Structure formats: C-alpha cells, structure tokens
C-alpha cells in the first residue's frame, strides 16, 4: 500500500464513522487515531480532493461555519474494505532513544538516565491520555465501532506500560555504572610498528 493509499484509508475510515468537514476530519484523526496514526494537514486535503474526484466521497452542503461537509459514498465504503483487506506493511523501526542508548558510552550513565527518565514520563503521559480516550469511547452513539476502537486503546496501554517497566529496569541497570566516569572516546587503532624485520632466506 502506497503512502497515498494509507492516507486515503485513514480519511475514508474516519468518514465511514460520520460525515465531517476537512478541519473536523483532521482533528478526529489527530485526537482519536493519534495514539497509533498521524496525518498532516497537507496530506488530508489532497486526499479529500482525489477521493471526491473518484466518486468515493461527496460534498453535502456546509456546516454553520460554511465549511464543506464530506461524506463517504457506497463506492467509497467498498474501496475502504478493499484497502483494509490488504496486508499491513511492516514498520521499519527508527527509535532515536535506542540509537542514543546503544552508543551511550559516549554520553555517560547520567545523560542516559536522563533520556530514560524523559521516556518514562512520556509513557506515563500517553497512558493518561489513553485513559481519557477509553472513558470518552464509552460515550456517544457508535456502539458497533466501540469494541474495535477499544482494541487499539488497549494496545496503546500495553505498550505504554511496557515502556514504563523497561525504563525502571534500565534505570536500575545504569545505577551499577559509575557516574564519575567520563564518556570514553572510541579506542584508537593500534599504532603500526615501524620496526623492520629482516626476511630470513630459506636454504
């Protein structure tokens, strides 16, 4: 699935829940899908235009602010099911924290501990946000969607708790390292001996 198709999947999926304006769509993706998916303002509006051109969504008048309201069409629902049926692409990890910790000898134990503490705080904040999302998902008219929404919230909660547990283990492991030790530069390669050894002649 291309990057464009991934954006279209998110847009069609959000509009399958209810019609909304482009701005409301962006906020819905940010607030509801934000714990596992992100789309920029610059990606959503071109996707809306292309989906409308293909007849997969349609405009339905305007809201009180005179902004166009978009709704998914039957063809759009069929296309959404096709996209969702495609295998999910594996995500190649790019974890800045792990990159820094892997080469943590250059930073030293205390700097690494600070990085881990920050990561732990972020995980706690995510867990709190997910608790709000879980509470809010219990309200509203979308009873048929709710069990599926809760699956994603549960995944986020498990990931956040695992991150907190890892941070606690990592901080404990770093306590064994001496804070007084300065970061060690990479080892110099051994000097090449300039001594010339005579070559023995074999009889």
The chain-wide mean pLDDT, for the chain, equals 86
| 185 falls within a domain | no
Classify residue 179: in a domain, yes or no. Answer: no
Residue 198 is predicted with a pLDDT of 47
Question: Is pLDDT of 103 > 70?
Answer: yes
Specify which residues 69 forms β-bridges with. 21
Q: What is the pLDDT of residue 137?
A: 82
Cβ neighbors of 192 (< 8 A, separation 6 or more) are: none
pLDDT band, very low/low/confident/very high, at 199 (cuts 50, 70, 90) = very low
Please answer whether residues 51 and 8 qualify as being in contact, where contact means their C-beta atoms are separated by less than 8 angstroms: yes
Whether residues 62 and 103 share a domain: the answer is no
Q: What is the pLDDT of residue 130?
A: 94
Last residue of a domain, one of 85, 116, 143: 85
pLDDT at res. 90: 83
- Residue-wise pLDDT tens digits, 10-22: 999 999 999 999 9
Clarify whether residues 77 and 23 are in a common domain: yes
The string of pLDDT tens digits covering residues 105-152 is 999 999 999 999 999 999 999 999 999 988 888 877 778 888 999 999
Total-model pTM: 0.74
3-state secondary structure of 201: coil
**Whether residues 103 and 159 fall in one domain:** yes
The residue out of 85, 111, 138 marking a domain boundary is 85
β-bridge partners, 58: 71
| Tokens encoding 88 | 């999910």
Helix axes 74-85, 3-17, angle to 10 degrees: 130
> Does any domain span residue 64?
yes
- Rounded to whole angstroms, the Cα distance separating 12 from 48 reads 9
Q: How confident is the model at residue 65 (pLDDT cuts 50, 70, 90)?
A: low
Asked whether residue 187 is assigned to any structural domain, the reply reads: no
User: What pLDDT was estimated at residue 201?
Assistant: 46
Residues 100 and 81 in one domain: no
The answer to whether residues 70 and 109 belong to one domain is no
| Residue 177 CB contacts under 8 Å (≥ 6 apart), including other chains | 109
CATH number of the domain that residue 10 is part of: 1.10.10.10
- Across the beta sheet with 57-62, what order do the strands follow? 20-21, 68-72, 57-62
Number of domains within the chain:
2
Quote the pLDDT of residue 183: 53
Provide the domain limits for residue 114.
Answer: 96-174
Asked if residue 65 and residue 43 are part of one domain, the reply reads yes
pLDDT for res 196: 46
**Inter-CA distances, 107 with 36, 69, 188, Å:** 31, 52, 18
Query: For residue 17, which of 96, 60, 97, 71 has the smallest C-alpha distance?
Result: 71
């Amino acid at each position: 699935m291309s990057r464009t198709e991934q954006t279209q999947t998110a847009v069609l999926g959000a509009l399958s829940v209810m019609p909304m304006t482009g701005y409301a769509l962006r906020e819905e993706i940010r607030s509801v899908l934000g714990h596992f998916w992100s789309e920029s303002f610059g990606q959503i509006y071109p996707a809306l235009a292309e989906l409308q051109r293909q007849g997969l969504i349609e405009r339905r008048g305007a809201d009180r602010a005179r902004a166009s309201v978009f709704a998914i069409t039957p063809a759009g629902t069929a296309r959404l099911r096709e996209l969702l049926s495609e295998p999910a692409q594996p995500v190649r990890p790019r974890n800045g924290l792990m990159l820094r910790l892997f080469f943590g000898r250059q930073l030293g134990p205390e700097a690494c501990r600070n990085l881990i503490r920050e990561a732990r705080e972020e995980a706690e904040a995510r867990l709190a946000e997910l608790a709000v999302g879980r509470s809010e998902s219990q309200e509203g008219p979308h009873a048929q969607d709710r069990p599926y929404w809760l699956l994603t919230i549960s995944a986020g909660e498990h990931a956040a708790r695992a991150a907190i547990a890892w941070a606690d283990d990592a901080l404990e492991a770093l306590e064994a390292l001496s804070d007084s030790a300065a970061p060690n530069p990479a080892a110099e390669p051994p000097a090449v001996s300039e001594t010339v050894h005579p070559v023995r002649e074999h009889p």
